[in-house]
Structure 1
Amino acid sequence: MNRIVLAALALVCACVPALAAEVVKTSVDLPWGDWITAVLQPVSAVLVPLAAAAVTAGVAKVSPWAALFLSRQRVQSAIQAGADYGVNAVAGAVKGKTLTVPVGSAVIAEGVQHVVNTTPARVVDKAGGAEGIAKMIFRALPLDEHASVKTVLQPAINDLTQRGLIAK
């Protein structure tokens, strides 16, 4: 009986490494990288359009702010162009120098006329029409100490009314 037990024990000792080697050889490799790729392809087909929709919605929410900023920039550049044109168009006006009362009124009127003629109506309307543009150019010009709304801006607005740019 001892011999049988010893023979069985010897057989087990001899077979266990062989079985262990066999287990290692028959291990199953899980191709998890392939599985992830297979799962992500349909998921990305759904997520990419959703992400594009989210970006589009974000742009739509930011768009009014962007439009406001661009409109404000366009109005400011139109006002500066009008002021520069008015200074160049009126005799006696020198860029960078202080403008006198009668010259300041003429510069404002010429600048407004230029802005209205060269700027899209939508931008002119955003600026408050010809009268709003005149007020902005008035604030942008370097005027002498005798200049005021009554002495410079009002005569310019009267001139623009005679030209038909401001309704009576």
Structure 2
Amino acid sequence: MMHRIRAGLALACTSLSLAALAEPAAARSATDLAIPWGDWLVGLLQPVTAALVPLAAAAVTAGIARVAPWAASVLTRDRIEAAIRAGAEFGQNAVAGAARGRTVGVDVGAAVVAAGARHVLATAPAHVVRKAGGPEGVAARIFRALPLDPQASAANVLAPALTQLREPDKRPA
């Protein structure tokens, strides 16, 4: 099928160029033979561009369709990482006894993780939270992003943070 389309396109281009050359030559006398290159070129390029512009648009659209899933996954991953960084910073700023730039102790680690996760859950788009693994995934990512004391572990920081996250917020409004 593609071979027939190519053959037809080649035949059309050849006949157009011959017709463009023959018509001005037949109108003039044999001694005064001048080829109007500008008119001939415009006459040839109009049908060619009419055929090539839709093909180029289809090629660009196909290229975008192939790149779109990859670009969407990269952008979503960047959004997740930005939300986790913001949650970690928020948790460090919101909890007394924790400061940004310093290691987080085991005693305040769970509160920092829970506060950061609540912040991400409240501010990030739902699809970003889903891609991050839901509330538990967000808390686990914040736990891994924090500079914790060497004594900190998932058992003594992340597990209590998940418990705090599942409980309703008891802070005064």
TM class by shorter chain equals 0.7 to 0.9
1:30 aligned to 32, 35, 59, which one? 35
Counting only pairs closer than 5 Å after superposition, residues 63-102 of structure 1 correspond to structure 2 as 63-102=68-107
Give the percent of matched residue pairs that are identical in Structure 1 and Structure 2.
59
Report what 1:10 is aligned to.
none
Unpaired runs of 5+ residues, structure 2, are 1-29
User: Which protein is bigger by CA-based radius of gyration?
Assistant: 1
SS of 1:163's equivalent in the other structure is: coil
TM-score, length basis structure 1 = 0.79
Aligned to 2:154: 149
Tell me which of 18, 26, 50 is aligned to 2:55.
Answer: 50
Unaligned stretches of 5+ residues in structure 1: 1-24
Aligned-partner Cα distance in 1 for 2:99–2:93: 7
Give the Cα–Cα distance (whole angstroms) in 2 for the partners of residues 149 and 66 of structure 1.
33
TM-score (norm 2): 0.77
C-alpha deviation, 1:33, in angstroms: 3.6
- Counterpart for residue 61 of structure 1: 66
**Cα distance in structure 2, aligned partners of 1:52 and 1:141:** 48
Separation (CA, whole Å) in 2 of partners of 1:45 and 1:117? 52
Q: 1:158 aligns with which of 156, 163, 170?
A: 163
> Counterpart in 2 of 1:11?
none
Q: Deviations over 1:11-68 (max 9, x none)?
A: xxxxxxxxxxxxxx92512223421221111210121121111101110110000100
Q: Which amino acid aligns with 1:134?
A: A
Which residue in 2 is equivalent to 1:133?
138
**Which whole-Å CA distance do the structure 2 matches of 1:84 and 1:99 have between them?**
11
Aligned-pair CA distance for 1:134: 0.6
**Structure 2 residue matching 1:132: 3-state secondary structure:** helix
What's 2:3 paired with?
none
CA RMSD of aligned residues (A): 1.5
Alignment: residue pair count = 140
Taking the aligned partners of 1:148 and 1:115, their CA distance within structure 2 comes to 22
- SS, match of residue 150 in structure 1: helix
What is the alpha-carbon distance in structure 1 between the residues aligned to residue 147 and residue 92 of structure 2?
A: 11
CA deviation string 1:53-89 (max 9, x = no partner): 1101110110000100110011111101111110111
